Amino acid sequence: MFDPNGDQVGKVRDVIVMLRQGTQPPRVLGLVVEVFTRRRIFLPMTRVTSVDVGHVITTGLVNMRRFQQRPTEVLVIGELLDRTVTIRETGTEAIVFDLAMEQWRTRDWVLSKVAVAEGGKRFRRRRGQSHVLDWADVSGFAQMEEGQGATHILAAFESMKPADLAGVLHELSPKRRKEIAAALPDERLADVLEELPEDDQVEILAGLDTERAADVLEEMSPDDAADLIADLPTDIAERLLTLMEPDEAEDVRRLLTYEERTAGGLMTSEPVILPADATVADALAHVRNAELSPALAAMIYVCRPPLETPTGRFIGIGHIQRLLREPPSALVSGVLDTDLDGLRPDDSLHAVSKYLATYNLVAAPVLDDEGRLLGAVTVDDVLDHLLPDDWREPDQQEVDGHGP
């Protein structure tokens, strides 16, 4: 979305419509726009001057109050995609995979076209022909649908970062959130869960069957999985830990023994660990792993065998910036920072924050009394606990809603 000067204001995330009786096409009320603060606001269509492929132009007047959906309003992407409808002429069930809106002569915007694929989700046969129909040619949008699919809404959100997709899910109804979570691949769902508020995490996990819930927990980083399991009832938590792979469950159980707001409770048990005879090329190959967060990839930890946490004796850390300046054949043991003592698992959140700030670090090793590496604390986990518990929620001082 751009203002009249061509400056980007935000991204259009959804379209708000109001369904009408009979075969009248829904009236488009406005757009849900995500501005740069990741706040979702409502933009009335009366403030839209142009809609074209890839951009929307506004009058420049934007109400920054956070959007809150009203009972009579419907999210086009969030609620109408993947809806099962009936083609009036043939009585055939079909799945909605796209919709089109247009502006009438009255200047009102309406949903005018529906793109559907024949063969509803209850049919086992391959889906049939696709059609683009007028709104009046289909029925079924007004009925509440249980078990609505999520194939096409996920396609619309495919390029979103996990944090952005988590924001979308948080704004949807519990029903739709559950349906979309059920359709997400385990790894993608795990990444999204790590970015959701605790209440949403517990709600989504409770909506999965226990075996799949255990699979998703295995895909999460051990520290995030431990935080989530700690919020579950004891019997459910133990059941999930039993279903997880033993090695994955062991890491989570170990993290659960530490107090939440300590270095042990904050750390991940899976930093990049290498032996002393590893080369700089080895280290750089390990930190290229796309699954590592930037904070974890910023540092390697060199230890004596065994290299699984808790490791053998901790030797030192290698900063990625220093490694990039060294020949690939050089040994990491020759470029280590051995002056840092590391954190202890019972160090407080305040002590961890002070340590990172003092040494200008984005990650730090956590050692036991025998000098073995237990894990690493990263700055993103510290920020999660420094911010208020509801930092992912709308600011309570803001006025929810949107303009007329």
| Per-run averaged pLDDT (10 residues), the chain, 404 residues | 90 93 92 85 92 88 86 92 92 93 91 86 57 94 83 87 89 90 94 92 94 96 93 94 95 94 94 96 94 93 95 95 95 93 95 96 96 96 83 51 49
CATH class as words, domain 273-386: alpha beta
Question: How, if at all, do strands 93-103 and 109-118 pair?
Answer: antiparallel
Q: What are the structural domain ranges in the chain?
A: 161-257, 273-386
Per-residue pLDDT, 397: 43
Per-residue pLDDT, 149: 86
DSSP-derived secondary structure letter, 337: B
Q: What's the burial of 305, exposed, middle or buried (CB within 10 Å: 0-12/13-18/19+)?
A: exposed
pTM of the predicted model as reported, rounded to 2 decimal places? 0.79
Which residues lie closer than 8 Å to 192 by C-beta, 6 or more apart?
A: 162, 165, 166, 169, 181, 184
Partners of residue 261 on adjacent β-strands: none
Question: According to CATH, what is the number of the domain 161-257?
Answer: 1.25.60.10
CA proximity to 219, closest of 237, 196, 192: 192
**Rounded-to-integer distance, Cα 18 and Cα 142, Å:** 11
Alpha helices in 134-245 (DSSP H): 151-156, 162-171, 174-183, 186-193, 198-206, 210-219, 222-230, 234-243
Alpha carbon separation from 33 to 7, 23, 65, 168 (Å, rounded):
15, 28, 11, 11
